[in-house]
A and B are shown apart, each in its own frame.
Chain A
Amino acid sequence: MNLSHDSNINGIRVKRLSDASFSNEQLNHFHDFIYDQVLTAALCKVSKEYGNPPSPFSFFVMGSAGRMEQSIWSDQDHGLVFTLKTDEAQEYFLKLGKEISEGLEIAGYKKCSGSVMASNPLWCKSMEDWEAQLGLWVGESTWESIRYLLIFADARSIHGNPGLVSRLKEKAFDEVKREHLLLRMLDNTMYMKKGVGVLGQLLVETHGAYTGSINLKETAFLPFVNAARLLSFYGGIKETPTLSRISLVSDVMMPDQDKSLYSKNFSALLDYRLKHGCNRDYDSGHYVNTSKLTKDEKKSLKEILKVGEQFYEHVRRMLERM
């Protein structure tokens, strides 16, 4: 890939980031825009060297990018699916995946430490292989394979044919339902850090670089995100943003007033992180220094944490009653 072009992308990102960080929606559209630039450049380069893509494909993002809930800093989680099942096609798309992930790294997105990237054969497969793999993950139902299914649930196509990802999701939802895996999935997302103590105080870090700060990702985001993801399996919802997942649950399953309470608080949480997160780098964006918050801000944070727990409990009870 052309290096000067890439540094240019990073330049654009840094320059326009602050303009885009007024709302979560704007910010995530901006991330998508950067991704698009990198994708176009990568495709251009791979096409020049190896010819046009051998078949239709879809490049999708997962994790917070998949849910359109990225903070200012974000790391990479993505995959590829293509229709032609040949070794040559696989080789071609792995090269493309590698190019994209290199490009994204230059553009300021850290590579995924767990290697959930289109450059990894596990996440870059033909339609047929993907379907087989989803079936295998459901069949194995180990801690690891369930983890993969949960990761895949957040997939959102941002380039190519979105119908491919949509079909894979249907397959995943059906298999999970057929094998009654929802309760296992619930068990695997139970671990959450407590944000509020028994005395009603915010529980902050007592040691290390974030002393005095609360970890928003573990205490606040996880309950909302995990609960909404479980709902998506439960209700067959292909949309990925947590807010969409909540709004798309049928009223029979969850009363309207509950849905709006959960949505309102998650929305507030997204704004909260943008406004109060340290945002020096990927890690610091998850921490909020509580000593700098006003009394009202603390109160609303506690409310968010409380509602998050409530939402998760609500979903847990729903699934356990099934």
Chain B
Amino acid sequence: MKVALALKGAEWAMNLTAARHPAFAARLAGRDRVVQLRMRDARGPARHFRFGSARVRSSPGLHGKPDVVLTFKNEATAWRIFKPGAKRGDAVNFAKNFAVEVTGDDELACWFTETLSLMRSVGWKIGVDVGHGETRYCNATNSGPVFVYVKDGKIVRVTPIDFDADDPESWTIEARGRSFSPPRRTTTTAHTLASKSMVYSKDRLLHPMKRVDFDPDGERNCANRGKSGYVRISWDEALDLVVAEIRRVKRVHGHGAIMNSHSSHHTWGNIGCYVSAFNRCMNAIGYTKMVINPDSWEGWYWGATHHYGYSMRLGAAEPYGMIEDCLNEAELIVFWSSDPESTGGSYAAFEGTLRRMFARDIGIEMVHIDPHLNYTASLLGGKWIPIVPGTDPALAHAIAHVWITEGLYDRAYVAERTTGFEKYRDYVLGVEDGVPKTPEWQAAETGVPAHTVRALARKWGTKKTYLGAGGKGTAFGGACRSATGSQWARAMVCLMAMRGLGKPGINFGNLQYGSPIDYNFYFPGYGEGGLSGDVETTGAAVQLYQRQPQLPSMNVVAQRITRNRIAEAILVGEAHGHPIDPKSINGQFMRFHYPAPGHSRVRMMYNYGGSHFGTVQESHRLADAYRSDELEFVVNQSIWHEGESRFADVILPACTNFERWDIGEWTVAGGYSHHNNGQLNHRVISIQHPCIEPLGESRSDYRIFLELMHRLGLGTYYSEGLTELDWCRSQFEASDLPGRISWEDFLARGYYVVPPEDTKASPQPNAMRWFAEGRRKDVPEPHPLPAGYGERFREGLQTMSGKIEFEASSLKMIDDPGRPPLNRYIPSWEGRGTTGLYRRYPLQLITPHPRYSFHTHTDGKDTFINDIDDHRVLVDGYYYWSVRIHPDDAAARGVAHHDLVRLYNDRGSVICAATLTRRLAPGVVQAYASSAVYDPVGAPEARIDRGGCVNTLAPTRWQTEKTSASAPNSCLIEIERWTGAAAAPAASLGEEEP
């Protein structure tokens, strides 16, 4: 009886909502359809709803020809779903046990459940009226949450968030008689402030398109990918075509024939992120998975882990408590290949900037080791040690030499907390090979004078020192991304072990991580997969999967291709790789092959986003792969027409995060960046309002995937009947937010600031202090996994000995010539020591992460960022990528400031604009990685790009044989003035109307 009343009540509620909200009434209207709800037992209550006008009508009993039927096992089941305060988990569990089933039209079934959901949400208020016709919404980006001001459906401005009296107090750290408290606002970057220009870009894809000469039933003309223009088609045509190809490829080629490809980053938001919506869609199809390097962590994952563990962080160190410790205890910070003022740690804009300036002002000395006088060095000052790229481990060994010979290392710590030191000592002293690794020895390699090394080693060896190694403090940075990247990261761990890693004032860090936020308050990171339901390849298993009821999702195809070998897989038909497997130190040894036994070669690629050309080494190969007949179908789902999208057969236009719902916490990645919010001055969790309507015909990624899923009968499985807003709420409910703020208030206000920890009342543990003091681990870090401990849970490190190992026991278990168990110096396989090559290409190109774009995001696309001449330079109407070169090197080549130059080696050429600078020593040139523009000029075999993809010049060789660690910073080139620009034709931008 209750169920019968509830079903009748649904009609009443829908019509009431329609009377109040015209948009809802319009939704009810449309084509005629009948939705029937019934019990499996025919005697139970049943009701059918007839849609087709602004009012829904329903009748008891069964309809003869319903379009959709929701069948419940019995009344009790139905009541659990319909009763007031019903738990979503119940519905999910019933679905998993087939106590609830949906049959009939998949799209209509979702439409019906979404309609029921909209009854609640249609009245929710979002945004704040700020007068002058403007409404202020909230959103979030790759460098922070923002307010978005909108007028007449158009974005007026994007600003950081100024906190008000309703937001909690900020934290304060007392240090050396002074106190530091962060400003009451979020920081931001140029690329976030350029968001409006990214949304309203002439490169936006506004309609589905098909390559003009692609005929799935006839000539596919694969060789014309990248050359031919596109013709506009309807969404139905595009989606039907993609689904037909999915079906055909699975039927004809079978298991593993479809692969994915995507960038490592995305627009911000847990729901729209590729780890979420794309992942779930691809899992439902079954695909050969693209595996990443892991990019930016390379040397740490493949090297450092073997000495001290932390595989779950891909080799990065614990990030807790370091800001208070550093400001109070440290006397020196060594920034080694560490430029947080350019890369913002990880998504954190300029949150750490004022802390570092404060540290300088209270007298903490600073040293910067980097071939480039980076922006952190030029802001903070201190000693700059320019080093020959790729030789950093030699400098590290020489520092160890000074420490050993002058007794400047922590003998007690080394004796108690480490193993294998004697062997390392003997190597450094030359007992083993007759070559003492003295400051004089290293000078020939590094270009750093011996006297400078001695001064550095003594200062470091006598002062409590923080080592900021890489942009994050550990990981992220140039030196870990070269042929010697693993050696360098390994050396960093060994040096810190000699100085007592974890003791007061002695730690990894550059004041980027370890702020006194509340680490016990949970909000899921995007790396936990959002709505994916995938516990195998995301961090969902840690918390989200238990907190967010949903259907599971899993990829059934075991075949993998590492990102850097996609071209070989397609063109040669054979490739191998080593995986990211953070679960253990040794997982990375599990070499995999393509094609995998019993799997098809890849015949179809579902490409997500459009700019891998700017991030993969020697990526002209990718263009060749796209032009191959081996790849029968390429679909690209992208927001902008750039890079890869120009090599697709069908293009599906997605909208930006400003045009759809999403939710997320600033910087929070989850997964292998656990507690990434430790960089923040304030934890900010924001709903991401749909500030404007999607431009043109673009749609949210979720919507596009759902449409595909409908065609495969997977829509109700994919969406579980939920809208994107429902999924946002699902993330909200899964977090610790309920109880702190109501959903309605959160929606209206747009953000919530998590109050910081009261560290006076409850002090926070320091990274590695527990280890230094031989105690049980006390930092709030859920790794290593239980099996990662050798003796007792949460005692010791993840290494075999449980200690820091100078001689890595895990590396004894394989034979990788580039990674001997003892970290010996092996010169770069592409550097000044490779004399034959160096004679022909006497300039070392380093390509750090970019400062003014977030990787490829916000580069190109005609954004405001183009106007920053430190990023791109306007020459003859074209925005060329900036390459930095010493005036002496420029003069020797007849190159003047902002001249066009050709950077080249055997792998290809890139046309850039020269920026003359003394921030480099002669012989080194610097250009940022991650151009979003791939713009080949001339014939494909000429391999000339004028978009600025300097990575096309970098080697594909792995750092060492048994890794998949890329080494883009080991790159020898030559430069000459370029005069061919005027003659070079622009790449086909063309959209041809039918």
Q: Do A and B bind each other?
A: no
Q: Measuring CB to CB, which residues of chain A are less than 8 angstroms from any residue of chain B?
A: none
